[in-house]
Structure 1
Amino acid sequence: MSLPSLDVERIRKDFPVLSRELPGGRPLIYLDSGNSSQKPTQVIEAMRDHLAMHYSNVGRAHHALGAESTEAYEGARDKVAAFVGAPSRDEIVFTKNASEALNLVAYAFGNPMGGDPRFQMGPGDEIVVSEMEHHSNIVPWQFLAQRTGATLRWFGVTDEGRLDLSGLHELVNERTKIVSIAHQSNVLGTVNPVAGVLARAREVGALLMLDASQSVPHHPVDVAALGADFVAFTGHKMVGPSGIGVLWGRGELLSAMPPFLGGGEMIEAVWMDRSTFAPIPHKFEAGTPPIVEAVGLAAAVDYLSAIGMDAVEAHERELTAHALGALGEIPGLRLIGPGDLADRGGTVAFTLEGIHPHDVGQILDDVFGIAVRVGHHCARPLHLRFGIPATTRASFYLYNTTDEIDALVKGLHHVQKVFG
């Protein structure tokens, strides 16, 4: 059976920014989609049309515009639910980004408003993350540990950039209340072995959360098949707008959790001394939501669905294979992460011997118009583990080509000559 293929040249025409020239006549080569993806015309126009012709607040205006806006907003929930295989649309909570989704779940633990024993947290209880996490999946759990007296523990990372599972049974134990790890690393590209971690979490009665910000845009993801309890991802990395993220959670868990934010639309009834709350998902969506952003996210889901996530994944796999081979021939280049295609996505991070990543990124941009990310990519503990302050990261998406990777390699050789 042949893998699906993409008509990349046709796809590129959907993204206006890819045809622009940078100052000096340099064509743009965008290799920073792990940071934030570019947006197709279909998403831009859907948002523009809603703002121009249909905009009103949702769930509260009893007129035509209010009905149209509510229908568009709740329709976006339906589309996102179908895209990730959610058993129920009510399990899709819109947030402003993945960070807020992760914080929402962390806030539920040890909250005196919640009485469910699964969310009780205190001294002697443990939280498990990993050394490869984005700060968004570390800091909320640090806050939780500080707030409740629980202990934060973590998986290490192997020299190859894989999750170190050698101590799985000791690390995830009867004291563990939740394990929260990346589905795919934003630096290493590693796709983590969810099944094994989930099996151990189930053995000890712990919950499992996945930060899927780097996986949902690039692979077919079915939350029911994954088996996790919570999954967080964000719109701006999947050809959608910024300002909207998604928390998927098992319905019975979301129903048991206390609200994260208080305000309009998340209530059932309010008295001066108490309130009751709306059912999920609205219990977690206080105030005016990101209406136009939800419309844009729905258009992004439509766009990716029409192309097919199997095809997106296969294309990125080809790009990654090409990149790993080409970068491996550059003397003095150290790859940070897996050197083969097994359980990895289209993100490659590296260092060049004797050259700071900030200098690499600046020359690539100034001379070649190549946009890459430099720094610690909001994953400083991972860089400390590898004994480096920063890396250069190239991340690929459905609109990238092998020619652009070849341009990156040419640019890196030029950087070495400059500093040679």
Structure 2
Amino acid sequence: MTVTLVPPPAPLPARTAPASSRPLDVLGVPGQINLDHAASAPCARAAADAVAELLPWYASVHRGAGALSRRCTLAYERARQTVGDFFGARPGDHVIFTRNTTDALNLLARALPTGTTVVTFAGEHHANLLPWPRGSVRLPVPAGPGEAVRALDAALTELRRDAPPGAGGPSRPAGPPVLVAVTGASNVTGERWPVAELAAVARRHAARIAVDAAQLAPHAPVDVAALGVDYLAVSGHKLYAPFGAGVLLGRGDWLDAAPPYLAGGGATSHVGDATHEVRWAAGPARHEAGTPNLLGAVALAAVCAALAEADRDELHAREQALLARLRQGLAALPHVVELRTFGPAAPRVGIVSFVVAGRDSGEVAAELAARHDVGVRDGLFCAHPLARRLLAEAAARSGRADLPPTALRASLGLGSTARDVDRLLAALAELG
């Protein structure tokens, strides 16, 4: 990925907010335990500092010659470069700033070539179920990562069975485009999906693959080149940068050939006097009409830079220890049943969904908040088909007929502690 930067403006004045020596510390309210990172993560100090530093300079982006505007344009394009580098963008990839993962996947859905078939699984978040065109293929929820790979291979084989050989030979069949859309980590169970293996299957069948990394990116490194994926969607508000920015990153050809996601200023290279006499821009600008979310982009880039400097292995080990503590504690409570798609030992990020037998999940969540200052999520987590299936399976597995129709979810992240986990477990024990 190549980004051309404008010449730097005059030197910055003294910083308006000192840079934190602990950029991955998160902001919070004393006494409140936040175990709802999977919905929206707290703000990292790096993001808050970056926004505070830029605010006095805030001005237009790509639209002015003054020092303020030039500074903001530089900050915006540097943010694009930083985010692209963090996620392993390749030459020819576009980094398009969006509002969130849902927005990014809807943008990609609008950019698909005519006739594209999208293949996804029924275990996806609604953001990766609902935007795709009619005729898309929805595969059943697999029992394990290996089954997911085999099911995708079978589905793509069937789709390509009657397609004539392409210019690249029999191994590169022609026919309508195919896009595989899959999550990197489940927002319901935290279980990690075999993205690299699914990408290899997609490539073998000349299909492209898009990954919803909203839940994976906050917990583990994600590199599109190393994984072999074509598109990546990410939310800043789940990545400790809650300033309204997300990203669609991926191959530029479909994006440059598609109509603009929004029609308006910034997306054009020329507008004539006649109706519809418009030449649309190429590159990210084509899909970023209007005044961009400068502060959101800069905040997200600041967190990406901080994570790039951090010891990700140490962060992973710490989270996995907390996750094991949480799951073991839940398993020891006879009235609590964990939800899962794969086997109990499947790799996962710091997300656990569960039910309390005989208790309404909404009432439990409200009681945890009111009596114990513990915040968790309740409901079906914008993944209704998957959550309903897992609730039914949990009832069958546990042999209990008194499980509620919705679930609770506890999710860990930066700032989570053993004390937080223990407070939740103690509160749930009182409900027994």
Same fold (TM > 0.5): yes
Distance 2:312 2:370 in 1: 34
1:130 aligns with 2:130: no
Q: Cα offset for 1:408?
A: 0.9
- What SS does the corresponding residue of 2:431 show, helix, strand or coil? helix
User: Cα deviations across residues 197-219 of structure 1 (Å, max 9, x unaligned)?
Assistant: 22332233222111000111110
CA contact (8 A) 2:184 2:213 kept: yes
Q: Which residue in 2 is equivalent to 1:167?
A: 151
Contact 2:24 2:46 in 1 (8 A): no
From 366, 381, 384, the equivalent of 1:380 is 384
CA contact (8 A) 1:361 1:392 kept: yes
Q: C-alpha deviations, 1:243-272, integer Å up to 9, x for none?
A: 110001123343333321111111111122
Q: How many residues align?
A: 380
Unmatched tracts of structure 1, length 5 or more: 1-9, 21-26, 110-118, 146-150
Counterpart code for 2:327: L
- 1:204 is matched with 205
Q: CA deviation at 1:153?
A: 2.1
Counterpart AA for 2:430: H
1:6 aligned partner: none
- The 3-state SS of whatever aligns with 2:131 is helix
Query: How far does the alpha carbon of each residue in 1:164-191 deviate from its partner, in whole angstroms, 9 at most, with x for none?
Result: 4453333223277211111111011111
Distance 1:160 1:336, change over 3 A: farther
Q: Matches of 2:209 and 2:93 in 1, distance apart?
A: 20
| CA contact 1:347–1:394 (8 Å) conserved in 2 | yes
Structure 2 unaligned spans of 5+: 1-20, 161-175, 393-403
Aligned equivalents of 2:254, 2:92: Cα separation in 1: 15
Cα displacement string for residues 368-410 of structure 1 (whole angstroms, at most 9, x for unaligned residues): 1011111111111112223363210001012111221111110
- The CA distance in 2 between the partners of 1:382 and 1:293, in whole Å, is 31
User: Paired residue for 1:354, among 358, 374, 378?
Assistant: 358
Identity score, percent: 35
Residue 84 and residue 360 in structure 1: after superposition, are their counterparts in 2 closer, same or farther (change >3 A)? same
8 A Cα contact 1:154 1:171, kept in partner: no
Alignment of 1:149-160 (within 5 A): 151-158=135-142
**TM-score with structure 2 setting the length:** 0.82
Deviations 1:88-144 (A, max 9, x none): 4962110111111100111123xxxxxxxxx121xxx63211121111111101xx2
Distance 1:381 1:189, change over 3 A: same
The alignment status of 1:321 with 2:324, answered yes or no, reads yes
Q: Tell me which residue corresponds to 2:70.
A: 67
Write the distance in 2 (CA, Å) between the matches of 1:307 and 1:169: 37
CA distance, structure 1, for counterparts of residue 294 and residue 307 of structure 2: 20
Say which is worse superposed, 65-74 or 172-181, in terms of deviation: 172-181
Aligned in 2, Cα 1:65/1:196: closer, same or farther, shift over 3 Å?
same
CA distance in 2, matches of 1:33, 1:376: 16
Equivalences for residues 80-95 of structure 1 within 5 A: 80-88=83-91, 91-95=94-98
Alpha-carbon distance between aligned partners in 2 of 1:245 and 1:231, rounded to the nearest angstrom:
11
Q: Give the structure 1 partner of residue 277 of structure 2.
A: 274
Return closer, same or farther for 1:89/1:195 CA change in 2, 3 Å cut-off: closer
Whole-Å separation in 1 of the counterparts to 2:46 and 2:204:
45
Please state whether the residue corresponding to 2:118 is helix, strand or coil: strand
1:357–1:295 CA distance, 2 compared to 1 (3 A):
same
Q: Is the 8 A contact 2:263 2:289 kept in 1?
A: yes
